Copies of this chain bind each other. A is one copy, B any other.
Amino acid sequence: MQNFAFYNPVKILFGKGQIANIATEIPTDAKILVIYGGGSIKTNGVYEQVKAALTGRDFLEFGGVEANPHLETLLKAVELIRAEGINFLLAVGGGSVVDGTKFIAAAVNFEGDPWDILAKQTPVKSALPFGAVLTLPATGSEMNTASVVTKWETKEKLFFSSPFVFPKFSVLDPETTYSLPMRQVSNGIVDAYTHVMEQYLTYPVNAPLQDRMAESILKTLIEEGPKTIADIHDYDARANVMWCATLALNGLIGVGVPQDWTTHMIGHELTALHGIDHAQTLAIVLPNTMTVRRDRKREKLLQYADRVWGLVDGTEEQRIDQAIAKTRDFFEAVGVRTKLSDYGVGLDVIPLISDRFEKRGFVALGEHQDVTPKVVAQILTLCA
C-alpha cells in the first residue's frame, strides 16, 4: 500500500425527509443564496421542501446553472453575492449545480481572474461555506473537493480541486430522484461506475481492502442500477445507488492506490467539443481504454473479471475480452450507448482532441503516465 492522507469532513444527512433538517446546519445569521439549475426542483417538490426548511431565514435565489456549468453563468452569481453580502451558499440539484457552487464559493474572494483557478490551477485561499441538497446521484461532488467548469466562449471544460470547497453538509434524499429523466438516472449509474474503475483498474499495490471496497460498489451498482430503471419508485434501489455514487468518489477507495483518469480526460474533451453528456462519454471511452491498456492493466483486469463478473473459465485473454464486453453491455443495459457513432460523432474528432491536449502542454495520462496523445488516438479510434 502507498502512503496517503485522508480527510473528509462533509456531514451526510441521508434518507427520506432529511431536507427538513438543513436549517440546523446553517448558521442562524447567514445570508443564504440558494443555487439551482434549470428549474426542475420547482416542479418536483424539492424547492418547496427547501423553502419550508428555510422559513424565517434570510435567503435569495440564483437559478439557471447549466449541465456542465458555464463560467459565464457562475460569474453572474459571484456578482450577485458581492452585491448582496451573501455569506452562505446552498446548492440544490445535481453534480453540475454542486460543482458550479464550489466554483462560485471559491471565486467570490479570489483575487484576479477566477478562470485562473482552473486554467492556471492557481490555488484557492478561501471559499464561502456552502451546503448541498443532492437530487441526482452521479458525480460524487456532494462529498469531495472537485469541481469541473466549462468556459462556454472557448468550449474548454476544466477541473479544479481545493480543500476549501468541501461542502459543510450534503442532504441525500433518494425520493428526490424519483422525478429524474431516465437519461439522467442511466448516466448517474455509468458515472459512478466509471469513477470506481478509474481508481481500481490500474495495477496491484497489495491494498486488498481498497480493492474489495471498490468491487463492493461495482457489484452493488450492477445489482441495484437496473432496479432503479425498472421501477422508478423503488426506494431502496434509489438509496443504494445514491450511496454508491457518493462513496465512489469521496476519496476513500482511492487512498494508497494508483489512479488512472484517462477515460475522464478524454471524455471531457468529447463533452466540450460535441456536447455529449459526461456519462455518455465515459461509456464510450472506458471499454476502449480497457482494451488498449489491457497489458498494463492485466492483473487487475483478471481480478475484475473474476470478482465482479464471476469470469473464471477460459484463457486470460478470453476472460479479459469477456470482462470488457460485460462492462460495455452493462452500460448499454442501463440505457447508455457506447459508440461515438451513436451520438453522430466521427473519427475526425481525434485530431481536434490531440491538438487541444498538445496546446495545453499535455504529455501523458494514466497510472503509469504513459498514455501519450498517440495512445489517446488509439483509444478513440476504437470508439467509432
Give the distance to chain B from A365, nearest Cβ to Cβ, in Å: 25
> Taking the complex as formed, is A164 at the interface, i.e. its CB lies under 8 A from any CB of chain B?
no
Determine the distance from Cα of A8 to Cα of B143 in the docked complex, in whole angstroms: 12
Residues of B within 8 A of A219 (CB): 208, 212
- Please determine whether A217 and B209 come into contact, CB atoms closer than 8 angstroms: yes
Q: How far is the CB of A194 from chain B (nearest CB, A)?
A: 17
Interface residues of A in 228-267 (CB under 8 A from B): 236, 239-240, 243-244, 247, 252, 255-256
Q: Say whether, besides A209-B243, A212-B219, A220-B208, A11 and B5 are in contact (CB < 8 Å).
A: yes
Q: How far is the CA of A17 from the CA of B2 in the complex (A)?
A: 12
In the complex the two chains form, is B208's CB within 8 Å of A240's CB? yes
Restricting to A1-19, which residues have a CB under 8 Å from any CB of B? 1-18
1/0 contact string of A14-26 vs chain B (CB within 8 Å): 1111100000000
Contact A7 B12 (CB under 8 A): yes
User: Is A325's CB within 8 Å of the partner chain B?
Assistant: no
Chain B residue with Cβ nearest A241: B209
Identify which of B2, B11, B255 contacts A7 (C-beta below 8 A).
B11
| Distance in Å: Cβ of A301 to nearest Cβ of chain B | 20
Residue A239 contacts which of B1, B9, B217, B244 (CB distance < 8 angstroms)?
A: B1
Select from chain B the residue with minimum beta-carbon distance to A219.
B212
Contact of A8 among B2, B5, B8, B223 (CB under 8 A): B8
Residue A382 is within 8 A (CB to CB) of chain B in the complex: no
Q: Does A44 contact B (CB under 8 A)?
A: no
Cβ of A240 and Cβ of B7 under 8 Å apart?
Answer: no
A255–B13 Cα distance when bound, in Å, is: 11
Whether A5 lies near B1 (C-beta < 8 A) is no
For chain A, the count of residues having a C-beta within 8 Å of the partner chain is 40
Docked CA distance A256–B239 (Å): 10
In the complex, A122 has a CB within 8 A of chain B: no
What residues on B are CB-neighbors of A209 within 8 Å?
A: 216-217, 220, 240, 243-244, 247
Asked, given contacts A6-B14, A12-B7, whether A1 binds B236 with beta carbons under 8 Å apart, the answer is: yes
Determine if A206 is an interface residue (Cβ-Cβ < 8 Å): yes
A269 interface residue per 8 A CB criterion = no
Question: In the complex, what residues of B have CB within 8 A of residue A18's CB?
Answer: 3
Q: Output the least CB separation between A136 and chain B (Å).
A: 18
A208, B10: Cα distance in complex, Å: 23
Q: How far is the CA of A142 from the CA of B255 in the complex (A)?
A: 17
- Least Cβ distance of A61 to chain B in Å? 27
Nearest-CB distance from A91 to chain B (Å)? 18
Point out the residues of chain B lying under 8 angstroms from A15, CB to CB.
1-4, 256
A207 within 8 Å of B by Cβ?
yes
Seed contacts A1-B14, A4-B15, A9-B9; 11 additional CB < 8 Å A-B pairs: A1-B240, A3-B14, A5-B14, A6-B11, A14-B256, A208-B220, A208-B240, A209-B217, A209-B240, A212-B220, A215-B216
10 shortest interchain CB distances as A-B pairs? A3-B15, A212-B216, A9-B9, A7-B11, A206-B236, A6-B12, A1-B239, A209-B220, A208-B220, A4-B14
26 A/B residue pairs, CB under 8 Å, sorted by A: A1-B14, A1-B15, A1-B236, A2-B15, A3-B14, A3-B18, A4-B12, A5-B11, A5-B12, A5-B13, A6-B11, A6-B12, A6-B14, A7-B9, A7-B12, A14-B255, A208-B219, A208-B223, A209-B216, A209-B240, A209-B243, A212-B212, A212-B219, A213-B213, A213-B216, A243-B256
